[in-house]
Structure 1
Amino acid sequence: MTNTPPPFKAHESNEAWTPSRAAFREISGYCALSKPKLDALKPWLDEHAARFEEPRYIENDPIGVVLGYDHPADREIVAFLAAMMAWGRREIVIQKTLQLLEALGPHPAETLRHTNEEQWTQWFSSFRHRTFNVIDIVTFLRGLKGLLHKGGSFEDTWKECFDAVGQNPVDLMSEFQRRFRAAAEPFPKRTSRHISTPESKTASKRLWMFLRWMVRSSGPVDLGQWGFISPSQLRIPLDVHVGRQSRRLGLLKRKANDALAVEQLTAVLRYLDPHDPVKYDYAFLGIGIEGESL
């Protein structure tokens, strides 16, 4: 495998992938590449995505913690909490997620339903992870419990959010943020850095990563447990790393890592794979891990 993107050459005929010039025109304002150059980049990105989306990836990623639970209701809760902890080095994220889950026992969903804030405050009084502390954790648990009480399962809540916005992925995160914050009232200002306000138009990286885990089913890593939304409708989990790599590759012009950048980068990735654009999250991961020169 080469360490740099391939030099420009016309893309070879591929019956499974034949994007039109009209399709490129729709996304040409978002990326810095011509159609031939973007087409030529696809095999290289596909190779990286396939190389890192494999079982060995699980060992060093928070999703491995989620896979340690068998019941779907537990996996929903564990995946959400693990995604919220996903800030910083992966080994530290795993360590902190396991620390958080230890108090919730082997069946976190049931524990959550049958415990209260006084108990949570006692359990997590000394918990620290980056800017997270007991206030944030109790707020998360209060929001989760409130949503479970209203909607039955966590997937039910997300489906209700999706239906409420006319099944428009662009507005999905804002609707979830609104409902989660309402269920978690009183919602501390400090916790907004983790579950932001709908008006902030942030990238919502950790929430989109959570949905990638729960929805994608085509590979050996993601859970594929939820079906209310198609993998083709998911958005790329955009953080500083993904933003930097995508700009170096010419896939994204926009400088800010915000909700609009998420839409623009996802549109470019959907041009490369209309059915599964967020598979390229693994390509960005691989490029970063190997420190490849772009």
Structure 2
Amino acid sequence: MPEKDELKAFLSEKTGYYEARWFIDDDPVQIPHLFSKKEDIEIAGFLTATMAWGKRTMILNACRQLMERMDMAPHDFVCGASPREMETLNGFVYRTFQNVDLIYFLRALKEIYKDFGGLQDVFFKGYCNGGVIESLRYFRQVFLSYGAPQRTGKHVANVTKKASAKRLNMFLRWMVRRSSPVDFGLWTNINPADLLIPLDLHVARVARSLGILSRKQNDLKAVLELTQHLIDMRPEDPVSFDYALFGLGVYEKF
């Protein structure tokens, strides 16, 4: 493992390179970047993060198609689509995310914006009671409470069963991190210092190669172990290093 200062300098340099406007063009984050309204960004970001597994070209194609079916106005569609308008979603499928899952997701989002005022307030209520892990647990509880089909639960990470929650942590990174050309910084009531690393296969592989992740499984314990190493290097914004670790794995095959 490199010396801490040497590793921090290396990862900081890589973060500076990858956390740039050009990164958006290849990444699923480009979908919420299509919008300027807060609620549109939130909903587009959440749905995109939910489908963010597999080849990025496939993710982008599916998510853009979904936004187009929602008339490029996801918040208005979620809150006010008529039964006839909902029919435009018929046949939408992305891998194991089936039409039945999508319909439930949109119904749950509608209820959350009605009952809580939006996604931010649900995540924040959990966050106030126990940080980001409790935020993820509470969000899942609320989100699946509107009569979710049993199969749909697999599309929302369960941290009580030690899931890494990669996609939800990525969504939180998008919403919370500030002063970034890629992330949005819309949710200012959650501290970026408390975020957890979105642990995908690339990030985990690079982290193990650098000696900052020893756990073999890509689970919640691995997330906490890696995040702690990143906190030691940049306590105010540890998940900024997600760019370096991901970029090294995807673009540089580190």
* Category of TM-score, reference length = shorter chain: over 0.9
Match of 2:114 in 1: 149
Task: From 51, 55, 59, give the equivalent of 1:89.
Answer: 55
| 1:244 pairs with one of 198, 201, 205 | 205
Q: Take 2:161 and 2:152, find their aligned partners in 1: how far apart are those partners?
A: 14
> Is residue 237 of structure 2 the alignment partner of residue 276 of structure 1?
yes
Counterpart Cα distance in 2 of 1:63 and 1:182: 27
Equivalent pair of 2:144/2:153 in contact (CA under 8 Å): no
Q: Does structure 2 retain, via aligned residues, the 8 Å contact 1:105–1:111?
A: yes
Which of the numbers 170, 179, 185 marks the counterpart of 1:218? 179
Contact 1:117 1:142 (8 Å CA) reproduced: no
Deviation at 1:116, TM superposition (A): 5.6
2:15 equivalent among 49, 56, 59 = 49
Quick check: 204-213 or 56-65, which moved more?
A: 56-65
Shift of the alpha carbon at 1:80? 0.6
Contact conserved, 2:108 with 2:144, CA < 8 A, in 1? yes
Deviation at 1:118, TM superposition (A): 7.3
Q: Hey, what does 2:32 align to over in structure 1? A: 66
Deviation at 1:112, TM superposition (A): 0.9
Counterpart in the other structure of 2:75 = 109
The aligned residue for residue 43 of structure 2 is 77
> 1 or 2 for the larger relative contact order (CA 8 Å, sep ≥6)?
1
1:154-165 correspondence to structure 2 within 5 Å: 154-163=119-128, 165=129
Q: Work out whether 1:173 is the aligned partner of 2:136.
A: yes
Over aligned residue pairs, what C-alpha RMSD do you find?
Answer: 1.7
2:249 is the alignment partner of 1:288: yes
Q: Residue in 2 aligned with 1:133? A: 98
Summarize deviations over 1:85-127 as a string: whole Å, max 9, x none: 111121211110011111211321111111267753x323322
Q: Which amino acid aligns with 2:134?
A: D
| Alpha-carbon offset, residue 228 of structure 1 | 1.6
Structure-2 separation of matches of 1:56 and 1:211? 21
Residue type of the alignment partner of 2:126:
C
| Residue identity in the other structure for 1:189 | Q
Unaligned runs of 5+ in 2: none
Count of matched residue pairs:
254
**What are the Cα deviations for residues 5-63 of structure 1, in whole angstroms up to 9, with x where unaligned?**
xxxxxxxxxxxxxxxxxxxxxxxxxxxx4xx7233211111111111000111111121
- TM-score by length of structure 2 reads 0.94
Moved >6 Å (runs of 4+): none
The normalised TM-score by structure 1 is: 0.81
- Is residue 234 of structure 1 aligned with residue 200 of structure 2? no
User: In the aligned structure 2, how far is the partner of 1:129 from the partner of 1:82?
Assistant: 11
1:49 partner amino acid: T
